[in-house]
Amino acid sequence: MTALPEALQPLYQAAREAANNAYAPYSQFPVGVAVRGLSGRIYSGCNVENASYGGTVCAERNAIAAAVVAGERQFDALLVYTPQEKLTPPCGLCRQVIAEFFLPETLIYSSNHQQQIQGWTVQQLLPDAFTPLYLANSTKVPN
Protein backbone atom coordinates (compact mmCIF):
# COMPACT_ATOMS: atom_id res chain seq x y z
CA MET A 1 0.00 0.00 0.00
CA THR A 2 1.34 3.46 -0.97
CA ALA A 3 0.23 7.08 -1.47
CA LEU A 4 -1.69 7.97 -4.63
CA PRO A 5 0.62 8.81 -7.57
CA GLU A 6 -0.15 11.98 -9.57
CA ALA A 7 -0.85 10.00 -12.77
CA LEU A 8 -3.79 8.24 -11.11
CA GLN A 9 -5.48 11.44 -9.90
CA PRO A 10 -8.01 11.69 -12.78
CA LEU A 11 -9.12 8.09 -12.23
CA TYR A 12 -9.24 8.65 -8.47
CA GLN A 13 -11.39 11.78 -8.80
CA ALA A 14 -13.80 10.07 -11.19
CA ALA A 15 -14.13 6.98 -8.98
CA ARG A 16 -14.60 9.04 -5.84
CA GLU A 17 -17.29 11.17 -7.47
CA ALA A 18 -19.09 8.05 -8.72
CA ALA A 19 -19.10 6.60 -5.20
CA ASN A 20 -21.15 9.63 -4.10
CA ASN A 21 -23.94 8.35 -6.34
CA ALA A 22 -23.75 4.74 -5.14
CA TYR A 23 -27.15 3.21 -4.48
CA ALA A 24 -26.28 1.02 -1.49
CA PRO A 25 -29.20 1.18 0.97
CA TYR A 26 -28.76 -2.49 1.98
CA SER A 27 -25.01 -2.79 2.53
CA GLN A 28 -24.28 0.90 3.12
CA PHE A 29 -21.00 0.12 1.39
CA PRO A 30 -20.64 2.69 -1.41
CA VAL A 31 -18.19 1.88 -4.21
CA GLY A 32 -17.04 3.98 -7.15
CA VAL A 33 -14.93 2.75 -10.07
CA ALA A 34 -13.22 4.52 -12.95
CA VAL A 35 -11.85 2.77 -16.04
CA ARG A 36 -9.74 4.22 -18.85
CA GLY A 37 -10.42 3.04 -22.38
CA LEU A 38 -7.74 2.84 -25.06
CA SER A 39 -9.17 6.12 -26.44
CA GLY A 40 -7.89 7.73 -23.21
CA ARG A 41 -11.40 8.55 -22.05
CA ILE A 42 -12.43 7.77 -18.48
CA TYR A 43 -15.77 6.18 -17.56
CA SER A 44 -17.16 5.65 -14.11
CA GLY A 45 -19.69 3.48 -12.31
CA CYS A 46 -21.08 2.96 -8.83
CA ASN A 47 -22.71 -0.02 -7.18
CA VAL A 48 -26.46 -0.22 -7.73
CA GLU A 49 -28.14 -2.51 -5.21
CA ASN A 50 -31.54 -4.14 -5.43
CA ALA A 51 -34.19 -5.29 -2.96
CA SER A 52 -33.75 -8.79 -4.42
CA TYR A 53 -30.08 -8.57 -3.36
CA GLY A 54 -29.13 -10.83 -6.31
CA GLY A 55 -29.98 -8.02 -8.72
CA THR A 56 -27.17 -5.89 -7.31
CA VAL A 57 -24.56 -4.77 -9.83
CA CYS A 58 -21.07 -3.81 -8.65
CA ALA A 59 -19.37 -0.52 -9.51
CA GLU A 60 -16.75 -2.33 -11.61
CA ARG A 61 -19.28 -3.90 -13.96
CA ASN A 62 -21.29 -0.69 -14.22
CA ALA A 63 -18.17 1.30 -15.17
CA ILE A 64 -17.12 -1.27 -17.78
CA ALA A 65 -20.67 -1.42 -19.20
CA ALA A 66 -20.82 2.40 -19.50
CA ALA A 67 -17.54 2.35 -21.43
CA VAL A 68 -18.71 -0.45 -23.73
CA VAL A 69 -21.89 1.51 -24.48
CA ALA A 70 -19.61 4.39 -25.56
CA GLY A 71 -17.73 2.07 -27.95
CA GLU A 72 -14.68 1.01 -25.89
CA ARG A 73 -13.47 -2.58 -26.11
CA GLN A 74 -10.08 -2.45 -24.39
CA PHE A 75 -8.89 -0.79 -21.22
CA ASP A 76 -5.54 0.09 -19.70
CA ALA A 77 -6.55 1.05 -16.16
CA LEU A 78 -9.21 0.45 -13.51
CA LEU A 79 -9.38 2.08 -10.10
CA VAL A 80 -11.77 1.20 -7.28
CA TYR A 81 -12.65 3.75 -4.58
CA THR A 82 -14.23 2.86 -1.25
CA PRO A 83 -14.36 5.12 1.82
CA GLN A 84 -12.94 2.26 3.93
CA GLU A 85 -9.75 1.73 5.92
CA LYS A 86 -9.32 -1.62 4.23
CA LEU A 87 -8.72 -1.34 0.47
CA THR A 88 -11.41 -3.23 -1.48
CA PRO A 89 -10.45 -5.59 -4.32
CA PRO A 90 -12.98 -6.51 -7.04
CA CYS A 91 -15.32 -9.44 -6.27
CA GLY A 92 -14.98 -12.76 -8.09
CA LEU A 93 -17.70 -12.03 -10.62
CA CYS A 94 -16.14 -8.66 -11.50
CA ARG A 95 -12.71 -10.30 -11.85
CA GLN A 96 -14.18 -12.50 -14.59
CA VAL A 97 -15.64 -9.45 -16.38
CA ILE A 98 -12.32 -7.59 -16.01
CA ALA A 99 -10.50 -10.59 -17.57
CA GLU A 100 -12.76 -10.24 -20.64
CA PHE A 101 -11.56 -6.70 -21.46
CA PHE A 102 -8.18 -6.14 -19.75
CA LEU A 103 -4.76 -7.61 -20.53
CA PRO A 104 -3.39 -9.99 -17.85
CA GLU A 105 -0.53 -7.59 -16.98
CA THR A 106 -2.75 -4.50 -16.54
CA LEU A 107 -2.84 -3.09 -13.00
CA ILE A 108 -6.13 -2.92 -11.13
CA TYR A 109 -6.00 -0.39 -8.28
CA SER A 110 -7.95 0.03 -5.08
CA SER A 111 -7.97 3.32 -3.17
CA ASN A 112 -9.67 4.96 -0.23
CA HIS A 113 -10.59 8.33 1.32
CA GLN A 114 -7.05 8.63 2.75
CA GLN A 115 -5.63 8.39 -0.79
CA GLN A 116 -3.98 5.07 0.05
CA ILE A 117 -3.63 2.78 -2.93
CA GLN A 118 -2.79 -0.82 -3.75
CA GLY A 119 -2.47 -2.51 -7.13
CA TRP A 120 -2.78 -6.05 -8.45
CA THR A 121 -2.41 -7.31 -12.00
CA VAL A 122 -5.43 -8.89 -13.65
CA GLN A 123 -3.38 -12.11 -13.69
CA GLN A 124 -2.92 -11.94 -9.90
CA LEU A 125 -6.63 -11.35 -9.35
CA LEU A 126 -7.73 -14.19 -11.62
CA PRO A 127 -4.99 -16.66 -12.55
CA ASP A 128 -5.75 -19.09 -15.42
CA ALA A 129 -8.80 -17.03 -16.38
CA PHE A 130 -11.35 -18.37 -18.84
CA THR A 131 -11.15 -15.72 -21.58
CA PRO A 132 -12.62 -15.26 -25.09
CA LEU A 133 -9.51 -17.02 -26.47
CA TYR A 134 -10.86 -20.37 -25.34
CA LEU A 135 -14.00 -19.88 -27.41
CA ALA A 136 -12.12 -18.51 -30.43
CA ASN A 137 -9.79 -21.56 -30.51
CA SER A 138 -12.40 -24.13 -29.60
CA THR A 139 -13.36 -27.23 -31.54
CA LYS A 140 -16.97 -26.70 -32.60
CA VAL A 141 -19.01 -29.71 -31.61
CA PRO A 142 -22.42 -30.08 -33.28
CA ASN A 143 -25.35 -31.13 -31.12
Ligand X SMILES: O=c1ccn([C@H]2C[C@H](O)[C@@H](CO)O2)c(=O)[nH]1
Residues 6+ apart with CB under 8 A from 10: 34, 42
To the nearest 10 degrees (0 to 180), the angle between helices 9-20 and 59-69 is 110
Q: Does 56 bind ligand X (CB under 6 A)?
A: yes
Q: Do β-strands 42-46 and 2-3 pair in parallel, antiparallel, or remain unpaired?
A: unpaired
For the CB of residue 22, give the shortest distance to ligand X in the complex, in Å: 8
Of 76, 99, 80, the C-alpha closest to 89 is 80
**Which letter does DSSP use for residue 48 in this model?**
B
For the CB of residue 19, give the shortest distance to ligand X in the complex, in Å: 9
Window contacting ligand X (CB under 6 A); options: 6-14, 21-29, 100-108, 118-126: 21-29
Does 60 qualify as catalytic in the annotation?
Answer: yes
Residues 22-41 that bind ligand X (CB under 6 A): 24, 27, 29, 31
Instruction: Please tell me the distance from the alpha carbon of residue 122 to that of residue 126, in angstroms, as a whole number.
Output: 6
Helix (H, G, I), strand (E, B) or coil at 16: helix
* String of contacts with ligand X for each residue 86-125, x by CB under 6 A: --x-xx--x-------------------------------
Contacts with ligand X by CB under 6 A lie at 24, 27, 29, 31, 47, 49, 56, 58-60, 80, 88, 90-91, 94
